[in-house]
Amino acid sequence: MHGQALRLLCSLLMPVTFLCTDLLPRVTFPRGDSRRILTSFSQDGVFNYDTFLLSEDEGTLYVGARDTILSLRVDSPGSMELTGLIKWQPFPGKKQECVFKKKSNLTECFNFLRIMVPVNKTHLYVCGTYAFSPDCSYISLQNFSLVPALQDGKGQCPFDPQHKHTYILVDGELYTGTMNNFQGNEPIISRTLGSRALLKTDAFLRWLNVDAGFVASVNIPGDEKVYFFFEETAEEFDFLEKLTVSRVARVCKNDVGGEKVLQKKWTTFLKAQLTCSQPGHFPFNVIHHAFVLPQPEGDAIFYGVFTSQWQMGEVGSTAVCAFSREAIERVFNGKYKELNKESSRWMTYNGDVASPRPGSCSVGSSVDKTLTFMKNHFLMDGKVEPMTKQPLLVKQNEKYTRIVVHQTQDVSGTVYNVMFLGTDRGFLHKAVVAASGAHIIEEIQLFKDPEPVQNLLFSPEKDILYVGHSKGVLQVPLANCSVYRSCAECILARDPYCAWDRHSRSCQETRATNKNMSDWLQDVEKGLPGAMCHQASGRGRATPRSWDDSGSSLVKTLSPVLNSLVRLTCPQVSALANYTWSYPEQMPPAWLMVLDDRTLVIIAQPQTAGEYKCWASENGHRQAVAHYVVGDPTGGDIAEEGLGWGTGMQGKHRSYWTQFVTVTVLLSVTLAVVMAIAAFSYHDRLKAKSKVQGCSTPEATKVSSQEKVPLKGGRELQLQGPFQEGAKGPEACCVQLEGVYQNIDADNNTLNSSLGTGEHSQGAALDKA
Ligand SMILES: *[C@@H]1O[C@H](CO)[C@@H](O)[C@H](O)[C@H]1NC(C)=O
Ligand SMILES: *[C@@H]1O[C@H](CO)[C@@H](O)[C@H](O)[C@H]1NC(C)=O
Ligand SMILES: *[C@@H]1O[C@H](CO)[C@@H](O)[C@H](O)[C@H]1NC(C)=O
Ligand SMILES: *[C@@H]1O[C@H](CO)[C@@H](O)[C@H](O)[C@H]1NC(C)=O
Ligand SMILES: *[C@@H]1O[C@H](CO)[C@@H](O)[C@H](O)[C@H]1NC(C)=O
Ligand SMILES: *[C@@H]1O[C@H](CO)[C@@H](O)[C@H](O)[C@H]1NC(C)=O
């Protein structure tokens, strides 16, 4: 009943959310686009390129795939050459056992490589699922071969290739978070390898919930702690429905386990809740990946990618939140929670706290009292709040699976953090965090078929990203600035890696050069080309070259047949631009029809002859991106070959009526949609008492058109794109869901009563209906 109520609530909210504007990638490069060339590697018969290890000199990439370990030479960007291949398959007996345990012979009973770390200069340590019987081994790098001795990988490597896991090598010791059993209900954080005794979490004391799923582990260079990021069902809330929370856990590197109490167990394990939320959305409570960006003086920023357990719409939205190390440490140095035996509720612990503080890295192994306290006080009372109150970025209808953050400088020396986000449908988003909010610079389609980005690794020496997926490995350069061919385009992109060099008159990569960049032009913060580029173009050429590859600055001349439909296309140079058509003055506006994709449709008449231009305007910069001259179908003053025709609309045989009816139907559909939208948003405004104003669905507004001031010698038709609101950020028009949001985010005990009751009544109403 509860779940039903919640679904009802979602469905009530959904239409409103869809009316909200979204952050859009400014440019999209489809797969195979010559403007964003990706180097790819794949080996026949090898799948699931899941695990990466880059050699210290970044010249070799080791890839752990299914039943296979590959060594790729990557010392020159743009090339990936296979230099070694090891087959590491489960014995037939193991496979049989796996099949016997009802696992699939075709998809699961393989050795999926999960861990690859360098133990010394000559050997790697590797682990794989080994047909649901995890195993580890060494690889000799001298001849790139597997050292025969197998070791049990239980506790380090998952059994099931679907299980989430994380690992990190710190000072020669391997810290892992994974499932410790076949069933997948015993999570474990352990430390192995090295010379010290094995340490692990205590399963009996339930330091981790049975469904904990690990997504990342980090150690800041020089820091004494190792952090783990995971999601699990929260037990501290009396919430009727299963409530997932995101967590950060901490252990100390110098932990050696207890002497009498907590033998071979962590004595420093603490965990805390991470929060990421935005008014108007359900809390983003499920973490998917995390990345740490070390900062000067031992500081660090932790980035996390979050979705919500209560998703709106088919795909739901993703948020990126950033946490300071200081905020995390503050919670770990704050109050503990403890389970009240009588009420079975988690309460704030207000009793005495020993010194040195339990769980801190200065507690010895023999302080029994402190260690006994640690057994039941592993959950912190406080929650870690993001650095900025709002998420850095919220993207609707998108699920990010991976994040990498890279710090760079613009030409004036301002530091920018650039986020690379892999999606579950195989796209890569590059976003910069500016003072005014996040801006998605570009979107690259990585694979032919939609599938999640499995791994994303940044190579700082080479300025390259490696992407792992089910069929291979890709190399993605950070930017290709030469796609921006004018000063204005270069500035509008807001790409910190690209700036306009006035001397070479080209948009250039700032990192690839050690030239003096003091007079290069760039505006990452606002992307306003205005005065900057005007000054740059200086004497002579004021208008930059065309925006796209189709040579749109060239005039296309058409000589249509009387009464035929003429389709004039307009390229989308930026998803954030507004598009406008200018057309001949004598033209009756009712004869114009603009389609979803900015295409202008006209019926060829004597009055329709003349000049048509599609203008893109963005941040005060306006430019024609398509230019047509349409001839008079009766006079035939222009008799050249027609260009830019749409799909077979030309033809003498078509009757006037077909065209007329088409246009009439299109027009009435448009009107109907516009009216429906208007009525709909009015309705919602009444209902939600919120500022939905100015929001609109992309489908509807793209078709709607309105007349604007006449240009000299012509008139203009403005397309109200869905784009113009993009920069404002989603909160600009989202319904305030304050009540629900605060309740879920509020303290444990209030949560059930307020949200729960409301929903029960809704549920009841639904049942009666
Ligand atoms: C960069 O863009 C230019 C211009 O579109 C193109 O010719 C070139 O191949 C691209 N290079 C890469 C590496 O994508
Ligand atoms: C698994 O499938 C392979 C062929 O795909 C077959 O040769 C093998 O006998 C199967 N193993 C078991 C245990 O069914
Ligand atoms: C590196 O580690 C492997 C595996 O533990 C070991 O066999 C080898 O002797 C080590 N080599 C050196 C140089 O320490
Ligand atoms: C690889 O080299 C190691 C020692 O460096 C040696 O023990 C091993 O037999 C070699 N393996 C192969 C397949 O040549
Ligand atoms: C770069 O050039 C500007 C003038 O063009 C000059 O003032 C500045 O000192 C130069 N900087 C370096 C590091 O050479
Ligand atoms: C697009 O047009 C609207 C209204 O005409 C304007 O408010 C908005 O700033 C424009 N967007 C851009 C990117 O120029």
For the chain, which residues make up each domain, given as ranges?
Answer: 163-395, 481-542, 551-651, 659-768
State the average pLDDT over residues 424-442.
95
Confidence of residue 589 (pLDDT cuts 50, 70, 90): confident
pLDDT of residue 671: 61
pLDDT of residue 667: 59
**3-state SS of 556-616?**
EEECCCCCCEEEECCCCCCCCCEEEEEEECCCCHHHCEECCCCCEEEECCHHHCEEEEEEE
State the average pLDDT over residues 528-543.
62
Residue nearest to atom 3 of ligand 5 (CA): 518
Confidence of residue 330 (pLDDT cuts 50, 70, 90): very high
Mutate which of 29, 33, 35 for ligand 1 pocket (most atoms within 8 A of beta carbon): 35
Confidence of residue 677 (pLDDT cuts 50, 70, 90): low
Mutate which of 491, 494, 724, 728 for ligand 6 pocket (most atoms within 8 A of beta carbon): 724
Measure 447 CA to ligand 1 centroid, in angstroms: 18
pLDDT of residue 586: 82
Measure 684 CA to ligand 3 centroid, in angstroms: 68
Is it the case that residue 303 has pLDDT exceeding 60?
yes
**Which is more confident, 453 or 732?**
453
State the average pLDDT over residues 489-517.
89
CATH class (in words) of the domain with range 481-542:
alpha beta
Residue nearest to atom 12 of ligand 6 (CA): 618
C-alpha separations of 363 from 267, 279, 353, 358 in Å:
8, 41, 13, 7
Is it the case that residue 727 has pLDDT exceeding 90?
no
Query: By CB neighbour count within 10 A (0-12 exposed, 13-18 middle, 19+ buried), where does 514 fall?
Result: exposed
One-letter amino acid at 522 equals Q
Confidence of residue 316 (pLDDT cuts 50, 70, 90): confident
pLDDT of residue 470: 95
Is it the case that residue 705 has pLDDT exceeding 60?
no
Measure 91 CA to ligand 2 centroid, in angstroms: 12
pLDDT of residue 665: 52
Percent of the chain with pLDDT over 90: 59
Is it the case that residue 20 has pLDDT exceeding 90?
no
State the average pLDDT over residues 498-509.
92
C-alpha separations of 252 from 193, 255, 256, 304, 377 in Å:
16, 5, 9, 22, 16
One-letter amino acid at 221 equals P
Closest-lying ligand to the alpha carbon of 138?
A: 3
Measure 142 CA to ligand 4 centroid, in angstroms: 8
Residue nearest to atom 8 of ligand 5 (CA): 518
Query: Is 99 touching ligand 2 by the criterion CB < 6 Å?
Result: yes
Is it the case that residue 619 has pLDDT exceeding 80?
yes
Verify cis geometry, omega within 30 degrees of 0, for the bond prior to 356: yes
Confidence of residue 379 (pLDDT cuts 50, 70, 90): very high
State the average pLDDT over residues 500-519.
84
**3-state SS of 381-443?**
EEEECCCCCCCCEEECCCCEEEEEEEEEECCCCCEEEEEEEEECCCEEEEEEEECCEEEEEEE
Is it the case that residue 719 has pLDDT exceeding 50?
yes
Percent of the chain with pLDDT over 70: 77
Domains 163-395 and 481-542 share a fold: no
As given in the structure block, the two tokens for residue 515 are 């030239």
Is the domain defined by 163-395 classed in CATH 2.60.40.3950?
no
Please tell me the number of Cα atoms within 13 Å of 301 on its side-chain side. 18
pLDDT tens digits for range 48-66: 999 999 999 999 999 999 9
Measure 49 CA to ligand 4 centroid, in angstroms: 25
Is it the case that residue 633 has pLDDT exceeding 50?
yes
The contacts of residue 626 (CB under 8 Å, 6+ apart) are 552, 556, 568, 569, 570, 571, 612, 613, 614
pLDDT tens digits for range 240-294: 788 999 999 999 999 999 998 899 999 999 999 999 999 888 899 999 999 999 9
Stretch among 177-181, 218-222, 478-482, 671-675 having the lowest mean pLDDT = 671-675
pLDDT of residue 513: 73
The contacts of residue 80 (CB under 8 Å, 6+ apart) are 39, 40, 41, 61, 72, 73, 74, 473, 475
In this structure, the strands spanning 437-445 and 455-459 are: unpaired
Query: Is 95 touching ligand 2 by the criterion CB < 6 Å?
Result: yes
pLDDT tens digits for range 441-498: 999 999 999 999 999 999 998 999 999 999 999 999 999 999 999 999 999 999 999 9
pLDDT tens digits for range 546-567: 333 334 457 888 888 888 889 9
Mutate which of 138, 140, 146, 147 for ligand 4 pocket (most atoms within 8 A of beta carbon): 140
Is it the case that residue 432 has pLDDT exceeding 60?
yes
User: Domain 551-651 sits in which CATH superfamily?
Assistant: Immunoglobulins (2.60.40.10)
Confidence of residue 632 (pLDDT cuts 50, 70, 90): confident
The contacts of residue 34 (CB under 8 Å, 6+ apart) are none
pLDDT of residue 710: 35
**Which is more confident, 716 or 507?**
507
When the pLDDT of each residue in the chain is averaged and rounded to a whole number, the result is 81
Q: Measured on CA atoms in the order 191, 192, 197, 203, is the torsion positive or negative?
A: positive
Closest-lying ligand to the alpha carbon of 123?
A: 3
pLDDT tens digits for range 99-137: 999 999 999 999 999 999 999 999 999 999 999 999 999
**3-state SS of 289-332?**
EEEEEECHHHCEEEEEEEECCCCCCCCCCEEEEEEEHHHHHHHH
Residue nearest to atom 10 of ligand 2 (CA): 105
pLDDT of residue 689: 33
